[in-house]
Structure 1
Amino acid sequence: MPNDFASTATVVHSSPDDPLAAPLVEELSREYDERYGFNDGIPSSAELSRYPAERFHESTGGVFLLLLVDGTPVAGGAFMRIDDQTVEVKRVWTHSGHRRKGLARRVMAELEAEAAARGVRRIELTTGARQPEAVALYLSLGYRPLFDLDADYEAIGYLSFEKELPSAGGSAD
């Protein structure tokens, strides 16, 4: 359950290339490299530049948001449009000094609310095999794993999830 810290954070719509987001993006990049090392000689953090910043702009159906506490970014996340009914959540991140305070849960709630307000019915996301805290978060939020939870996550690689959002008139199908 989110604590007061998470509930009092201010939501700011931003962009992955906004200087305000830079400390979070830089820390995420370092953590990717520490957890996953190199893939075919390329740092794992290269994943963060796989999609241009424009994919997360409102003009292309995306969103990139930050949670600020006292003007400092402490968490963030984004989604990009896949089709008229679907978005893919990316870059959910909490600053290492502010973890276990409900911030990632708040980011996900904000992203889901934004998606629903735009008429999105389905959210997709992936996380890596070495991010058990992310797996636990997504399961606790009702995301359905598209992989065998009892399998070797390293053998799977990218762990995919999905969630149906309620329609404007009520509950999800």
Structure 2
Amino acid sequence: MSGLIVDVRLVGVSDPAAAPLLEGLRLEYTSRYGANDELARFPEAEFAPPHGAFIVLARDGETVAGGAFRRHDETTAELKRLWTHPGHRRAGLGRLVVGELEREARGRGYRRIYLTTGPRQPEAVGLYLASGYEPQFDLTNRPTEGPLAFIKNLRPHTSERKLP
């Protein structure tokens, strides 16, 4: 992570630390896809314990990255809301967020992760491939419309660190 020291915190969607992440996502989605209601698709409660989680990574009190998961089915969590501040990209924060979400999901009993990203987010596709996610579409003939789905089976771990 190039020496970038961050605090990882479990928060609620309405926590002030989540606001920069949600605003950054709104701007990102609008710039890539035009007007949309993606951030309103799921109620806040879906990202809260016991079935969901929302994390932020902060540096010197500033939210620099984060993400969430919600229950997709009994054994599968769905990653949502992954974001890294533009000034902190390419420093490993995306992989850190994915890893923290996977640990938290595993700790809640999930055995698999499902996620989707959009066709205009090649950085996200690269992140998920580098993080061991299997595309549910043909990489050689990538769709230009609709969501791009990925799946990853979680390996069981005996010693997990829980977020505060």
How high is the TM-score relative to the length of structure 1? 0.87
- Amino acid aligned to 2:154: L
Give the deviation of 1:152 after TM superposition: 3.9
CA distance in 1, matches of 2:27, 2:134: 28
Count of paired positions = 158
Task: Verify: 1:69 aligned to 2:68, yes or no.
Answer: no
- Residue identity matched to 2:143: Y
Structure 2: distance between partners of 1:152 and 1:74? 30
Alignment of 1:50-65 (within 5 A): 50-59=41-50, 61-65=51-55
| Equivalent in 23, 28, 51 of residue 26 of structure 1 | 23
Aligned to 1:40: none
Between the aligned partners of 1:27 and 1:116, the Cα distance in structure 2 is 27
Tell me what 2:161 maps to.
none
> For the Cα contact (< 8 Å) 2:72–2:114, is it kept in 1?
no
- Whole-angstrom CA distance in 1 between matches of 2:15 and 2:72: 23
Q: Any idea what SS the aligned residue of 1:3 has?
A: coil
- Greater helix percent: which structure? 1
1:10 and 1:19 mapped to 2: Cα distance? 15
* C-alpha RMSD over aligned residues: 1.3
Task: Describe the superposition over 1:111-141 as per-residue Cα deviations: whole angstroms up to 9, x where unpaired.
Answer: 0111111221100000000000000010011
Match of 1:101 among 91, 109, 124: 91
List alignment gaps of at least 5 residues for structure 2. 159-164
1:15 to 12, 17, 28: 12
| Whole-Å separation in 1 of the counterparts to 2:73 and 2:147 | 21
The runs of at least 4 consecutive aligned structure 1 residues that moved more than 2 Å come to none
Give the TM-score taking structure 2 as reference length: 0.91
Identity rate of aligned residues, in percent?
A: 51
User: Counterpart of 2:103 in structure 1: which amino acid?
Assistant: A
Q: Could you tell me how far apart the structure 2 residues matched to 1:122 and 1:152 are? A: 23
Counterpart of 1:26, as a letter, is: E
